[in-house]
Structure 1
Amino acid sequence: MSTTQFFQTPEGRRLAYHKSGDAGPTVVFLGGLKSDMEGTKAIHLEAWAHARGQAFLRFDYSGHGESDGRFEDGCIGDWHQDTLAAVDALTTGPLIVVGSSMGGWQALLLARAIPERIAGMVTIAAAPDFTEDGYWASFSDTQKHELDTQGFVELPSDYMEPYIISKRMIEDGRDQLVLRTPLTLDFPVRFLQGTQDTAVSTSTAVRLLEHAAGPDMRLTLVKDADHRFSDETCLNMIIQSIEEVISAE
């Protein structure tokens, strides 16, 4: 479909990306924690964009996929810097931001940083503030001691080897929280959430909907859909949501 290219961020991180199409607005896919731009949703959306000539960007955060760096060294703020650098260097004009899981948090951070460029947003199992409300809130006293003394804890994953969660990720996450202060999304927004998601709860999706302010915001709960949200029905729903926010732009 497209070939992997690389660019360097102002912070000196070398990131991998795929860019295709030229008809605006540009659809930007933001992946989840420890996922990469070769995932089912990213590839499916690229094929959809290619078929209609839509400008499309997918990339790997530092420490993810083909980009340089180690996952263990990164944090939410680093990946926010990566996202800002990618859209600044690789796109022009309005953006439709599609964020999956941690990418949903990144989409919200992007909207807070450059609201003038966001024309619409779709999130899939958005996980805002999860370092605080998910990780830190669930850590035992033993895990908190490990974090303080050795600088990291290991958490099991349903999808791959254990996550290494660093003290830096937890502390930096507190500087990136979006559910504690006003969050204005002044453009069409579609939140998508599966009811069988074991990583992000429906209560998180409802909390985000209730907290954010905007003129055109909807939450769709999909019965029995899991965190991957990647079967044919879910993929079609993502595309339909993107097309809705583009047409409403």
Structure 2
Amino acid sequence: MAATEFLITAKDRRLAYNKSEGHGPTIVFLGGLKSDMEGTKAVHLEDWAQTRGQAFLRFDYSGHGESSEDFTDGCIGDWHEDTIEAVTALTEGPLIVIGSSMGGWQALLLAKRMPERIAGMVTIAAAPDFTEDGYWASFSDEQKAALDSVGHVELPSDYMEPYIITKRMIEDGRQRLVLREVLDLPFPVRFLQGTADTAVSTETAVRLLEHATGPDMRLLLVKDADHRFSDGPCLGLIENAVLEVTGGG
């Protein structure tokens, strides 16, 4: 496996990344909230791309993994900036974008910013607008008051240590919502969603499918798959989805 490299962004953030050379379109993996580029899906898909001779990029957002900054200082907009800078500096030509959880939201933001670069998209338990529709909508009056008085709230997770959700993350998320206006995805898209996911609901997946517009868009619901979506059969489904949006491989 190639050694980790680092990209310095315009805002002096130091982003860790691994890039494999190969033919296009380049696969770009966008991870989830508090995930890093060493996760099962990212590493597996990189290995798979290498066996196909296909270019692949995975990286850590600021405040994640080996990148600089603290997670609690970050927000959706910061990680969107990181994505734009990584894609612009480290890739050329068409892209196949894979977004997992929060990375699904990032993939959709990337599509709004540079649709001409994207040849296809696969999302895994995509979580668009979760800061508003998930966190804010479920906060009690006491939690909302804590955002103002303390600046953050702490939320438990079924998949890792508790999340610290800041007022800045909530307020910035409101500027990045994608389910309130036209969301055109003019390329093949496959949304993958497990029915046993306790972090992102099947209702969210259906809402995204119904809201977005595009010429070739499908949602695959996988019985009993959880949010990780990283066992052998699920990884195979991701591979198949990538092949579909790439035109069969």
Query: What's the TM-score bracket when you normalise by the shorter of the two chains?
Result: over 0.9
Aligned residues of 1:21 and 1:49 also touching (Cα < 8 A): no
Q: Which residue of 1 aligns with 2:233?
A: 233
- Residue deviations 1:21-57 (CA, integer Å, cap 9, x gap): 2200000000000000000000000000110110000
* Counterpart position of 1:75: 75
In the alignment, the residues of structure 2 paired with residue 28 and residue 14 of structure 1 have an alpha-carbon distance, to the nearest angstrom, of 18
Q: Matched residues in 1 for 2:70 and 2:171: separation? A: 18
How far 1:3 sits from its partner (Å)?
1.4
Q: Is the 8 A contact 1:131 1:173 kept in 2?
A: yes
Measured in 1, the distance between the counterparts of 2:207 and 2:229 equals: 20
The answer to whether structure 1 residue 23 and structure 2 residue 23 are counterparts is yes
Confirm or deny: 8 A CA contact 1:124 1:229 kept in the other structure.
yes
Identity of aligned residues (%): 76
Task: Describe how 1:46-85 pairs up with structure 2 within 5 A.
Answer: 46-85=46-85
8 Å CA contact retained: 2:182, 2:212: yes
> What are the ranges of 5 or more consecutive residues in structure 1 without an aligned counterpart?
none
1:203-218 correspondence runs (5 A)? 203-218=203-218
Point out where structure 2 has 5 or more consecutive residues left out of the alignment: none
Which 4+ runs in 1 deviate beyond 2 A? none
Alpha-carbon shift at residue 12 of structure 1 (Å) = 1.2
TM-score normalised over the length of structure 1: 0.99
In 2, Cα distance between equivalents of 1:134 and 1:225:
20
Q: Which amino acid aligns with 1:218?
A: R
Kept after mapping to 1: 8 A contact 2:37/2:58: yes
Matched, 1:125 2:144: no
TM-score (norm 2): 0.99
The one-letter code of the counterpart of 2:146 is E
Aligned pairs, how many? 249
The 1-side partners of 2:247 and 2:108 are apart by 21
**How big is the shift at 1:160?**
2.1
